[in-house]
């Protein structure tokens, strides 16, 4: 740990590695000043530094029929509602020092839940960090940061800080989920140059791994045990070669390393092609889930790995390849092919359903494996096709329509694809 911290401070002091306070605004520093002045009105108002929003998400639920693999626990409530007060703020504390804060307060109501019984209120601290700019275009940040990587929408093989970060959402849209999630406590540094940027991030282990979905917690619990259960280091190199944007990443978690890359290239005026890949040592899904369940006390020692698969770690590849088309009416269509080598193959899917259907005792284990994948925000299936359509300002200003579909080929199982509007 001392070597990592020393490396981080040395890189920062020499202005070789830095961190921009907001990744989506980092490229603005590379725009020539004369073009900015020509494009912007002379008396333009400064951008807003904060946003306070009120959100309400209601849901009705009913079982369409007996599930092939019976779900453990009680059936879902017939109705539920979440009312949220969402705050995002960024401000300058000094000429070279800034502070970023992102938080959400939730109030819950659902069928059969009286106030004070179960979780009726919760506060989610997503981000809280300071940014220091010791020299121009060199940044150092410390605090809870939602570090996102990747160019795809359905699944990001290079998004290495997603584990344990999910929060309650009213949508299954992955591009929305990764924007609105828990950050990890870390140090991050970045330097932006004319050719691109380099960065380094270190997130220390602060807690031992905890159970997945361990139930109600204190309303103000920041859930750092979910986001900082391992030591993680990520180095990133970003370079623009003409219209092509590329990125190389090197990631280390505990004693395991993973490398990745991403590239984006325009095709004409309306189409953008992109690809994202990573590879490293990893257990297959069923083996990783059972290993983690035993380690955290969720599963008893000796729990079998089902569907049967190899228990040892092996090199595993993840890939996302897609196209994005934007029309004159601002409608954007995305089509992606997703590959997660550690996920269930067609044969393992058949075994998963047959075992869970045959034995109520095994059904709980089968569902735990899916909960494990959801906690890590990785696909359960090895191969998927992801489709998404977005129409901003469709009905009126600030009213957007989004539709998405996940297609997993599960032969002869009679299972519909996952979709949402």
b/e for 10-19, b at 16 or more Cβ within 10 A? ebbeeeebbb
Residues forming a β-bridge with 46: none
Domain 2-23+49-72+80-420 CATH (choose: 2.40.160, 2.60.40, 2.30.110, 3.40.720):
2.40.160
> What is residue 173's predicted lDDT score, i.e. its pLDDT?
86
pLDDT at 344: 95
State residue 33's pLDDT score: 40
Q: What are 391's strand-pairing partners?
A: 401
Rg (CA), the chain: 23
Neighbours of 338 (CB within 10 A): 27
Tokens of 117: 């019984």
CA dist 63 and 69 (Å) reads 13
As a whole number of angstroms, the distance between CA 177 and CA 309 comes to: 30
Distance separating alpha carbons of residues 100 and 132, to the nearest angstrom: 11
Instruction: Give φ, ψ of 30 to 5 degrees.
Output: -95, 0
pLDDT recorded at residue 271: 97
Domain boundaries, the chain: 2-23+49-72+80-420
> Do residues 90 and 51 lie in contact, with contact meaning Cβ atoms separated by under 8 Å?
no
- List per-block mean pLDDT (blocks of 10 residues) for the chain, which spans 421 residues: 41 37 39 36 51 90 82 83 94 95 92 66 94 97 97 96 88 85 97 96 96 74 94 97 96 95 96 98 96 95 92 95 94 97 94 91 93 94 95 83 82 42 46
Closest CA to 286 of 327, 344, 339: 344
Q: What is residue 167's predicted lDDT score, i.e. its pLDDT?
A: 87
Q: According to the model, what pLDDT value does residue 34 have?
A: 38
Angle at 239 between CA 126 and CA 388, to 5 degrees: 55
Q: Which residues contact 15 (CB under 8 A, 6 or more apart)?
A: 134, 135, 138, 191
- The pLDDT of residue 409: 60
pLDDT confidence of residue 215: 57
- Residues paired with residue 127 on neighbouring β-strands, in sequence order: 102
For CA atoms 177, 179, 180, 186, give the dihedral sign: positive
pLDDT value at residue 216: 55
pLDDT of residue 223: 92
Name the 3-class secondary structure at 180: coil
Residue appearing with tokens 């509007």:
421
The pLDDT score that the predictor gives to residue 85 is: 95
* Residue 74 to residue 68: CA distance in whole angstroms: 16
Q: How much is the pLDDT for 45?
A: 39
pLDDT value of residue 325: 97
């Amino acid at each position: 740990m001392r070597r990592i911290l020393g490396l981080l401070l040395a890189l920062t002091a020499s202005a070789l590695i830095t961190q921009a306070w907001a990744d989506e605004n980092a490229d603005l520093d590379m725009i020539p000043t004369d073009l900015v002045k020509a494009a912007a009105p002379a008396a333009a108002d400064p951008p807003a530094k904060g946003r306070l929003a009120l959100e309400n998400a209601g849901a009705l639920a009913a079982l369409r029929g007996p599930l092939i693999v019976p779900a453990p626990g009680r059936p879902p409530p017939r109705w539920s509602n979440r009312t949220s007060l969402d705050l995002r703020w960024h401000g300058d504390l000094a000429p070279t020092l800034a502070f970023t804060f992102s938080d959400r307060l939730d109030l819950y109501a659902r069928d059969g839940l009286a106030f004070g019984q179960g979780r009726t209120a919760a506060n989610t601290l997503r981000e809280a960090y300071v940014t220091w700019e010791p020299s121009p275009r060199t940044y150092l940040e410390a605090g809870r940061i939602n570090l996102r990587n990747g160019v795809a929408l359905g699944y990001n093989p290079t998004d290495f800080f997603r584990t344990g970060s999910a929060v309650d959402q009213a949508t299954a849209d992955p591009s929305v989920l990764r924007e609105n999630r828990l950050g990890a406590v870390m140090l991050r540094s970045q330097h932006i140059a004319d050719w691109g940027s380099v960065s380094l991030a270190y997130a220390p282990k602060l807690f031992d791994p905890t159970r997945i979905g361990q139930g109600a917690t204190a309303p103000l619990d920041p859930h750092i045990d979910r986001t900082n259960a391992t030591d993680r280091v990520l180095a990133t190199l970003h370079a623009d070669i003409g219209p092509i944007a590329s990125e190389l990443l090197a990631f280390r978690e505990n004693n395991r390393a993973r490398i990745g890359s991403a590239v984006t290239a325009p095709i004409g005026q309306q189409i953008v092609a992109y690809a994202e890949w990573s590879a490293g040592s990893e257990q297959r899904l069923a083996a990783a889930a059972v290993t983690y369940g035993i380690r955290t006390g969720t599963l008893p020692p000796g729990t079998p790995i089902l569907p049967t698969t190899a228990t040892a770690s092996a090199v595993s590849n993840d890939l996302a390849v897609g196209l994005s088309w934007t029309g004159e009416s601002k409608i954007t269509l995305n089509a992606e092919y997703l590959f997660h080598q550690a996920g269930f193959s067609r044969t393992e899917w058949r075994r998963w359903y047959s075992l869970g259907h045959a034995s109520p005792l095994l059904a709980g284990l089968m569902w735990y494996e899916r909960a494990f994948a959801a906690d890590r925000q990785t696909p359960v299936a090895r191969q998927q096709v992801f489709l998404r359509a977005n129409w901003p300002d469709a009905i009126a200003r600030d009213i957007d329509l989004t539709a998405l579909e996940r297609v997993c080929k599960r032969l002869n199982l009679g299972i519909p694809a996952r979709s949402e509007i």
